[in-house]
Structure 1
């Protein structure tokens, strides 16, 4: 039988039954797309490869208990989570976290909503002034000078609030557990 003609849901059903050939087909079908997605955000070939490997390893490990409905959306979202986790590591830059917060999601999925809910929860835990500065900066796109004028604080204070918000988000979100 040629697995390449099977639909994603048929392949997933076979993977749940530990069919390695069905898993191989999923891997062949989506590896390049997921690698391209990870590389686009990371700009690091080795890290992108590692992330994609982790995604597929996790998919296989959780095959019997997975409840995936839309395979590519799920894999792409898992890749974005892994990229987020990569950026949340203390050794990675704040600028990378900023880029991650603006990642587009092609289709709203349960996974992407969970991630967004977690980000929103962490943003809501920020001190009031810090949260307000972060909101003006990230959600309304205001520059530091405009924010400082609007809130009657110095641009240095705006920068400190943004730095604090990003640091707190990075620290808190790195503890998230990525289940596939």
Structure 2
């Protein structure tokens, strides 16, 4: 049987039954497209490959209970979310707000402006102390200990504020990408 002639929904049904050949066909069909999406935003080949690999690993891991209706839409959305998740991770070198704001450089000016405005609006919605901690951390590059001393709060409180700010930004970015 040639899997290349099967529709996405047929392939998905076979993948749900742990058919590795059907999964391989999905991988061959969509790997390059997902990589292009990730690379477009990241401009980093290795990170783009990692993200696409994670998407396919996740698809296989959740194959039996995944309620996917439109395969490509699902994979493309998961890739975009993973890209923004990558930018929101504080441990990555690309997690600064400045880099996050420069993400859409290749986008048309109107989209780029819209994204920047939306990110700034979301930051401005943060509670005052959370916004201040985020500003010191991401815009001024201050360490958590230095921020805690400057604001007279614990390092744990600083971490909590940063986590809250990043979570709120990720949620907003996810809504914008859907």
In the other structure, the counterpart of 1:96 is: 99
- Deviating beyond 3 angstroms after TM superposition, the runs of 4 or more aligned structure 1 residues are 99-104, 122-125, 160-164, 167-170, 173-176
CA contact (8 A) 2:123 2:165 kept: no
Structure 2, unmatched stretches of 5+, are 108-118, 141-161, 172-178
Per the TM alignment, residue 169 of structure 1 is displaced from its structure 2 partner at its CA by: 6.7
Q: Does 1:23 align with 2:23?
A: yes
**TM-score normalised to structure 2 length:** 0.61
In the other structure, the counterpart of 1:34 is: 34
**TM-score normalised to structure 1 length:** 0.60
The 3-state SS of whatever aligns with 2:57 is helix
The 3-state SS of whatever aligns with 1:65 is coil
CA contact (8 A) 2:15 2:22 kept: yes
For 1:59 and 1:168, how far apart are their aligned partners in 2? 27
1:20–1:26: structure 2 CA closer, same or farther, 3 Å change rule?
A: same
Structure 1, unmatched stretches of 5+, are 105-118, 132-156
Higher helix share: 2
Per the TM alignment, residue 123 of structure 1 is displaced from its structure 2 partner at its CA by: 5.8
In the other structure, the counterpart of 1:57 is: 57
- Number of matched pairs: 131
Cα-Cα RMSD: 3.6
